[in-house]
Chains A and B, each alone.
Chain A
Amino acid sequence: MSRPKNQNYKGHGLSKGKEREQGAPIRFKTALMNTLMDVLRHRPGWVEVKDEGEWDFYWCDVSWLRENFDHTYMDEHVRISHFRNHYELTRKNYMVKNLKRFRKQLEREAGKLEAAKCDFFPKTFELPSEYHLFVEEFRKNPGITWIMKPVARSQGKGIFLFRRLKDIMDWRKDTRNSDDQKDDIPVENYVAQRYIENPYLIGGRKFDLRVYVLVMSYIPLRAWLYRDGFARFSNTRFTLNSIDDQYVHLTNVAVQKTSPDYHPKKGSKWMLQRFRQYLASKHGPQAVETLFRDMDNIFIKSLQSVQKVIISDKHCFELYGYDILIDQDLKPWLLEVNASPSLTASSQEDYELKTCLLEDTLHVVDMEARLTGREKRVGGFDLMWNDGPVSRDEGPPDLSGMGNFVTNTHLGCVNDRKKQLRQLFCSLQVQKKASN
C-alpha cells in the first residue's frame, strides 16, 4: 500500500510490510484516460481507487514521479510504471552521453568490432555545452543537413532542420533575447544531430517505426519485446529540397495531424507485420532477418548502456516506445526512446494494438502472481534479454557459440496472443493444482 506524501508514515502495525492477500482486489490508480483506463477497468479483480486512496498499482505520469516517488513508501507487492531516473535513457542528451560512455567501455573491453555495434545513433552533440565540438564536426562535413531537437519536449515540438551555421546563430540570438526579456523561461538544452538524408522510402514517403520494449528490471536486466508495433508515415513525399517543411520530415502523428494533407481516417500507419511482409517481398527474407537482428541489437545495447545508472527498484517497470528510422541500406538508426509512449488510439486497428499491448504488459507485471517466472513468452511479449541473451525454443541448437545465435524475438511476426495466453494460463492452473 502507499501513503501519500502529506501523511506522516508511522508504521501502523498491521499494514507494515504486509503482503497483499491473495484474492483481494487489486487497487489501481491512473491519471490517464483512453486505452489504459479501458484495459484496467476490464481486468477481472481490479478496482479503481481515486484521489488519496491507497493503491497496489499505479500507472503514473512522469511529473508525479518526479515529485512524489522519493517520499512514497511501497509495500513489496506494489508496482509503479516508471523508474525513478528513466530520463537517463529517454532524454536525448543523457541517452547520448550514456551511449558514448558505454561505447568507449566496450571498445576497451571487447575491441573495436564490438564497439561498432553501438553505431546506431547519428552523430549527436549537446548544445550549448558541446558547441565547439559540434562546430568542428560541422566544418568537417560541409553541406550536410543537421536536425536540432529540444532535449525534453515531445510530439515533434521545437524541432527544426538546418544546413548553415548561420541558421543556428540566429536561433541562439533569439533564445538569448527572449531570456533577457522574461526570466521565467528556462534555458533549454538542445541536441544537434546529423540528419539521415537517405531514409528508406515507401511510396515516396518517409516513415519511422514505433516498437515497444517492456523492462521489468535493470539489475538483472530483464526486457521483453512486443511483436506488434507500427510504421508512421509522413503525409507528404520526401525531398531534401524543403528543409523548412516540417510535415515532410517529422513523422510524429502529432505533427502530421496538423498537416493540410492529413486525413484522420487514414491514420497514416502500417502495422509492423505489413511492413515486414513488404520488405520481405522486396528484399528477400535474409535481408529482413538481418535488419530485425540489428534492431534487437539497438534495444539491448541501449538498455545495457544505462543499466548501471538507472536506480533499479523492484517496484518499478517501464514500457518504452522506441523510435527507429531505417535508411536505404536497410540500416536501422535509433532516434529516441520514450518513457511515456502515446496510448491514445488513432484508429480501430490502433486501439486494438494498444489495448492488447497493455493487457499483455499487465500479464507480465503479474500482480495476480500467476506466472512461474520462467516463461519466455507471454501473449505478444517475447523475453528478449534475461541477464543474458534468450534463445528461441525451436530451430537448430546453437553449437558454435555466439555465431548462429537466434534470439527469442519475433518483431513483426504473427501475434497469436489469445491462443498463447489461453494455453499458458491453462497450464499454469494445472501446475498449481498439481503442486497443492
Chain B
Amino acid sequence: MLQEESDLSLIIAQIVQKLKGSNLYSQLERQAWASLQRPEIKLESLKEDIKEFFKISGWEKKLQNAVYSELSVFPLPSHPAAPPEHLKEPLVYMRKAQGSWEKRILKSLNSMCTELSIPLARKRPVGEQKELLNKWNEMGTDEPDLSLFRPVYAPKDFLEVLINLRNPNYENGDSLSFRTHLGLIQVPLKVKDIPELKECFVELGLNTGQLGIDDSTQVPPELFENEHVRIGQKVLAEQDSAAAQQYIRQGSPTALRAELWALILNISSEPEDVLYYEQLKTNVIQHDLLVDSLIYKDVKLTASNDDYYFVFEDYLYQVLLCFSRDTSVLSHFAYNSASPPKSYIRGKLGLEEYAVFYPPNGVIPFHGFSMYVAPLCFLYHEPSKLYQIFREMYVRFFFRLHSISSHPSGIVSLCLLFETLLQTYLPQLFYHLREIGAQPLRISFKWMVRAFSGYLATDQLLLLWDRILGYNSLEILAGDAQK
C-alpha cells in the first residue's frame, strides 16, 4: 500500500514538473491573477474561491485534459533503480537489434550522401529562399530530379530484420509441438488471445452499437446513430478528453471527428503553436536537408499516386518538411526504443561536442512515411493544426510501427499477435498460405506498418484510427489485419 502511494506521488510530481514548463501553466497563472479582480474571490477563502472559479470557467477541465494527456504517454511503473534505457526498451536483445538496425540505416543514408556528393545539410542562398517562400503553398508543382535518390528503406527490409530477431536466452527445441508458432516472428513475447482481447475491447462487441456498421442505410437512425451523435456533441461541449476517448471507441460521426481527435490529443492551437509552426517553416526556408529530397521522393511515389490523397500533395510537404526540423520530437525518444541518429560536423567525427542529431527531429523517413499524414488532410486544413495533430499522432502511436521493441503496441508484438490469431482461429487459411509460399505476415506487414493508410478506403480508415485513439493502442491493427 505504501509502495503504491509513493509510486502515485512520484507520478504526480513528475507530471507537475512536466506541466510547469508548459504554456497551460502560465495561462493558469495569468487567469488566477486576473481572477483576483472578480467580486466572488475573497481573501479569506482565496484557495477555494480560485478553485471554484477555475471549475466554472472551464480551466479545470483544461488542466484535467492536460494531465490525462500526459498519462497516456506515461510509462508503466517500473523499478526505481532501472536505468533510462529500460524505459526505452527493457529487453537487451531488442535494444541491440534496434541499435544495429539504426546503424544500417544511417550507413545507407551516409553512403547515398557521399555517392551523390550532396551535403546532409546546407544553407540556402537568398534567391532560393525567396523562391521557396513564394512556392510554399504549391510545392507539389516542383519537379526536382529525384531519380538518383532512393528511399532509405522500405517496410519489407524492416520485416527481414524482425524475422531474424531471436532471444538468445530462449531455447525453442527442435521438436514440433502443438504449441509451435509457425509464423515468421520467432520471439517469445506475450500477446493477448481472443478472450483477453474481448475483455480489452469490450466496446467493440456485437451488443454495442458501432459507427461504420450500425449506421448503414438499412438500420434506422433512431436505433443508434442519432443518440450517438447527440452524445458526441455533448462530449465536445464539455471539452473532456477522457470522455471523448471513451466515446470514440464506438466510432466518431464524420462531422465531429476533427474536433474529437483534437480533444483527445489535447491540441488546442494557441497563437504560440502557430508561431512555433511558422518558426519551423522558416527553418525549412533557410536550410536544405538531404532528408527533404527523400521526403519529396516519398510523396511523389506514394501519396501523389494515390486515388484519394493526390489532392493533398502540397499539404504533405508543408507538414513533413517542418516535421523533420522539429527538435521537440526528440523528447519522445525517452520512451521509444529507437535513438536519434547522430551526425558529426565535418572533420570532427567521434567528438561528442560536434555531434548533432540528423535530421533535427531524429526520424529518418522510409518508403511510405508520408501516408501517415495523408488521411489527416481529410480532417484538418489549417497547416499548423494539421501539423500539431500529425506530430502528436506520431509521438504517441506511429513511432511504434517502425522501431523494434517489446511494447504491446510495438510492431513486433502486432506481428506476433496477428500470426497467433491467424494460426489459432483460421488454421486452414494459415497452412494453405504457407503451402503456396505466401507467409501471411508478408502480406499483412505493410498494411500494419502504415496503419492501413492507402490500403483502406478513407472513411473506413478514419473509423479504424478512431479506435486507435479510443483504446490508446495499436493492437486493433493486428485484429483488423487478421480479418
Cβ 8 A contact of B458, one of A236, A277, A394: A277
With known contacts A236-B141, A261-B141, A414-B217, A285–B308 Cβ distance under 8 A? no
Taking the complex as formed, is B312 at the interface, i.e. its CB lies under 8 A from any CB of chain A? yes
Do residues A281 and B141 form an inter-chain contact, with CB atoms below 8 A? Answer: no
With known contacts A203-B315, A280-B255, A268–B458 Cβ distance under 8 A? no
CA distance A267 to B307 in the complex (A): 8
With known contacts A203-B312, A205-B311, A263-B305, A281–B379 Cβ distance under 8 A? yes
Do residues B254 and A237 form an inter-chain contact, with CB atoms below 8 A? Answer: no
Do residues A281 and B310 form an inter-chain contact, with CB atoms below 8 A? Answer: no
Contacts of A280 in B (CB 8 A): 254-255
Taking the complex as formed, is A10 at the interface, i.e. its CB lies under 8 A from any CB of chain B? no
Contacts of A130 in B (CB 8 A): none
Cβ 8 A contact of B255, one of A233, A281, A414, A416: A281
Do residues B314 and A204 form an inter-chain contact, with CB atoms below 8 A? Answer: yes
Do residues A266 and B310 form an inter-chain contact, with CB atoms below 8 A? Answer: yes
1/0 per residue, CB under 8 A from A, across B367-406: the answer is 0000000000111010000000000000000000000000
Do residues A282 and B381 form an inter-chain contact, with CB atoms below 8 A? Answer: yes
Taking the complex as formed, is A278 at the interface, i.e. its CB lies under 8 A from any CB of chain B? yes
Do residues A237 and B138 form an inter-chain contact, with CB atoms below 8 A? Answer: yes
Contacts of A269 in B (CB 8 A): 307
Taking the complex as formed, is B193 at the interface, i.e. its CB lies under 8 A from any CB of chain A? no
Contacts of B459 in A (CB 8 A): 277
Contacts of A278 in B (CB 8 A): 378
Do residues A266 and B304 form an inter-chain contact, with CB atoms below 8 A? Answer: yes
Residue of B nearest to A349 (CB): B307
CA distance A311 to B462 in the complex (A): 50
With known contacts A277-B459, A281-B254, A281-B258, A203–B311 Cβ distance under 8 A? yes
Taking the complex as formed, is B466 at the interface, i.e. its CB lies under 8 A from any CB of chain A? no
Do residues A202 and B311 form an inter-chain contact, with CB atoms below 8 A? Answer: yes
**B353: min CB distance to chain A, Å:** 44
CA distance A40 to B305 in the complex (A): 32
Cβ 8 A contact of B254, one of A268, A285, A347, A414: A285
With known contacts A280-B254, A281-B255, A281-B258, A263–B304 Cβ distance under 8 A? yes
CA distance A285 to B221 in the complex (A): 14
Taking the complex as formed, is B326 at the interface, i.e. its CB lies under 8 A from any CB of chain A? no
1/0 per residue, CB under 8 A from A, across B109-132: the answer is 000000000000000000000000
Do residues B255 and A284 form an inter-chain contact, with CB atoms below 8 A? Answer: yes
Taking the complex as formed, is B257 at the interface, i.e. its CB lies under 8 A from any CB of chain A? yes
CA distance A347 to B459 in the complex (A): 21
Residue of A nearest to B377 (CB): A203
1/0 per residue, CB under 8 A from A, across B298-340: the answer is 0000001101101111110000000000000000000000000
Do residues B254 and A265 form an inter-chain contact, with CB atoms below 8 A? Answer: no
Taking the complex as formed, is A274 at the interface, i.e. its CB lies under 8 A from any CB of chain B? yes
> How many A-B contacts are there with CB distance less than 8 Å?
59
Do residues A274 and B258 form an inter-chain contact, with CB atoms below 8 A? Answer: no
Taking the complex as formed, is B180 at the interface, i.e. its CB lies under 8 A from any CB of chain A? no
Do residues A277 and B308 form an inter-chain contact, with CB atoms below 8 A? Answer: no
Taking the complex as formed, is A270 at the interface, i.e. its CB lies under 8 A from any CB of chain B? yes
Residue of A nearest to B462 (CB): A281
* Interface hub of B137, B217, B254, B308 (most chain A Cβ within 10 A): B254
Residue of A nearest to B308 (CB): A274
Contacts of A263 in B (CB 8 A): 304-305
Chain B, interface size: which category? Answer: 20 to 34
Residue of B nearest to A237 (CB): B138
Residue of B nearest to A287 (CB): B255
1/0 per residue, CB under 8 A from A, across B240-270: the answer is 0000000000000011011000000000000
Q: How many residues of A contact B (CB 8 A)?
A: 28
CB contact list, A377-424 vs B, under 8 A: 394, 414, 416
CA distance A282 to B311 in the complex (A): 15
**B349: min CB distance to chain A, Å:** 42
CA distance A202 to B308 in the complex (A): 12
CB contact list, A222-244 vs B, under 8 A: 233, 236-237
Residue of A nearest to B217 (CB): A414
CA distance A204 to B137 in the complex (A): 8
Do residues A203 and B313 form an inter-chain contact, with CB atoms below 8 A? Answer: yes
CA distance A267 to B312 in the complex (A): 14
Contacts of B311 in A (CB 8 A): 202-203, 205, 233, 270
**B258: min CB distance to chain A, Å:** 6
Do residues A237 and B141 form an inter-chain contact, with CB atoms below 8 A? Answer: yes
Residue of B nearest to A268 (CB): B310
CB contact list, A270-296 vs B, under 8 A: 270, 274, 277-278, 280-282, 284-285
Contacts of A281 in B (CB 8 A): 254-255, 257-258, 378-379
Do residues B138 and A204 form an inter-chain contact, with CB atoms below 8 A? Answer: yes
Residue of A nearest to B314 (CB): A204
**A349: min CB distance to chain B, Å:** 6
Do residues B308 and A270 form an inter-chain contact, with CB atoms below 8 A? Answer: yes
1/0 per residue, CB under 8 A from B, across A237-268: the answer is 10000000000000000000000010101111
Residue of B nearest to A410 (CB): B217
With known contacts A204-B138, A261-B141, A284-B255, A274–B458 Cβ distance under 8 A? yes
CA distance A236 to B307 in the complex (A): 17
CA distance A324 to B25 in the complex (A): 51
Do residues B255 and A237 form an inter-chain contact, with CB atoms below 8 A? Answer: no
CA distance A274 to B255 in the complex (A): 14
With known contacts A202-B311, A203-B313, A237-B138, A285–B378 Cβ distance under 8 A? no
**A253: min CB distance to chain B, Å:** 14
CB contact list, A162-211 vs B, under 8 A: 202-205
Contacts of B381 in A (CB 8 A): 282
Residue of A nearest to B310 (CB): A266
Contacts of B141 in A (CB 8 A): 236-237, 261
CB contact list, A12-42 vs B, under 8 A: none
* Interface hub of A203, A270, A349 (most chain B Cβ within 10 A): A203
7 contacts between A and B (CB under 8 A): A203-B315, A233-B311, A236-B138, A277-B378, A281-B258, A394-B220, A414-B216
Footprint of B on A, CB under 8 Å?
A: 202-205, 233, 236-237, 261, 263, 265-270, 274, 277-278, 280-282, 284-285, 347, 349, 394, 414, 416
Which 10 interchain pairs have the tightest Cβ spacing?
A203-B311, A237-B138, A284-B255, A281-B254, A280-B254, A203-B312, A266-B310, A202-B311, A204-B314, A265-B305
Footprint of A on B, CB under 8 Å?
A: 137-138, 140-141, 143, 216-217, 220, 254-255, 257-258, 304-305, 307-308, 310-315, 377-379, 381, 458-459
Extra contacts, 18 of them, besides A203-B312, A281-B257 (Cβ < 8 A), are: A203-B311, A204-B138, A205-B311, A237-B138, A237-B140, A237-B141, A261-B143, A266-B310, A269-B307, A274-B458, A277-B458, A280-B255, A281-B379, A282-B381, A284-B255, A285-B254, A414-B217, A416-B217
